[in-house]
Amino acid sequence: MNTGSNKIVNYFWGFIAINLFIRFFVITFPSVLITWTGFILFFISFLNLLISSCKFSFSRDNLVLGLPYVTFSLAGLWFFLLLMPLGLFGFTGILKTSFGLNGTEFTFLTINRIKILIILAVIYILILLCSLRFRSIFQILIERPNLSLSTLFSEAKKQTSFKDSLDNFFRLIAMLVTTWIYIGLIAGINYLFVNQILVIISQVLIDIGVLAFQTLIVFDVVGINFAEIKPRRNLYPVLGLMLISAFFSGLTFTKYNFYDQPQTIIAHRGVVNNDGPANNMQSLNKTSSLHFPYSEMDVQETRDHHFIVQHDDNIIISGKSYLVNDLTLKDVQRAKKVELFNSYLRDAKRNGQKIIVELKVTNHSDPNMGTRFAKQFKSQLISGQDMVHSVGYPYLRQVKKIIPQIKVGLVTMLNFSDLRGYQVDFYSIQHITLNNFLISQLKETGRPIYSWTDDNPLGMRRLILMGVNGQITDRADLLRGLNQNTPQNYSLLLLNSLMNYS
Sign (positive or negative) of CA dihedral 369, 372, 375, 381: negative
The residues near 230 (Cβ < 8 Å, ≥ 6 apart) are 1, 5
| pLDDT in the model for residue 264 | 96
For residue 162, the cross-strand partners are none
Of 158, 153, 213, 152, the closest CA to residue 182 belongs to 213
- How many angstroms separate the CA atoms of 346 and 293, rounded? 17
| CA end-to-end span of the chain | 37
Sign (positive or negative) of CA dihedral 12, 65, 232, 235: negative
Other beta carbons within 10 Å of 65: 8
- What are the chain's domains? 4-255 (no CATH), 264-485 (3.20.20.190)
Answer yes or no: are the C-beta atoms of 152 and 460 closer than 8 Å.
Answer: no
DSSP 262: P
- How many angstroms separate the CA atoms of 475 and 480, rounded? 9
| pLDDT in the model for residue 81 | 95
User: In whole angstroms, how large is the CA radius of gyration of the chain?
Assistant: 27
Q: Is the peptide bond before 453 cis (omega within 30 degrees of 0)?
A: yes
| Angle made by CA atoms 470, 443, 100, in degrees to the nearest 5 | 110
| pLDDT in the model for residue 1 | 43
| pLDDT in the model for residue 226 | 79
| Angle made by CA atoms 70, 5, 176, in degrees to the nearest 5 | 70
Helix (H, G, I), strand (E, B) or coil at 350: helix
| pLDDT in the model for residue 482 | 83
* pTM attached to this predicted model: 0.90
- How many angstroms separate the CA atoms of 394 and 76, rounded? 40
pLDDT one digit per residue (tens) for the chain, 502 residues: 455 677 888 889 999 999 999 988 888 888 888 899 999 999 999 999 999 888 888 776 555 556 788 899 999 999 999 999 999 999 998 899 888 899 999 999 999 999 999 999 999 999 999 999 999 999 888 888 888 889 999 999 999 999 999 999 999 999 999 999 999 999 999 988 888 889 889 999 999 999 999 999 999 998 888 777 766 666 667 788 888 888 888 887 777 666 778 899 999 999 999 889 999 999 999 999 999 999 999 999 999 999 999 999 999 988 899 999 999 999 999 999 899 999 999 999 999 999 999 999 999 999 999 999 999 999 999 999 999 999 999 999 999 999 999 999 999 998 889 999 999 999 999 998 888 889 888 998 999 999 999 999 989 988 988 889 999 999 999 999 886 655 567 788 888 888 888 8
- How many angstroms separate the CA atoms of 454 and 475, rounded? 8
**Tell me, what amino acid is at 245?**
S
Sign (positive or negative) of CA dihedral 428, 430, 435, 441: negative
Q: Half-sphere exposure of 35 toward its Cβ, with a 13 Å CA cutoff?
A: 20
**Tell me, what amino acid is at 404?**
P
| pLDDT in the model for residue 60 | 60
3-state DSSP helix/strand/coil percent for the chain, to nearest 5? 60, 10, 30
**Tell me, what amino acid is at 1?**
M
β 407-411/387-390 pair status? parallel
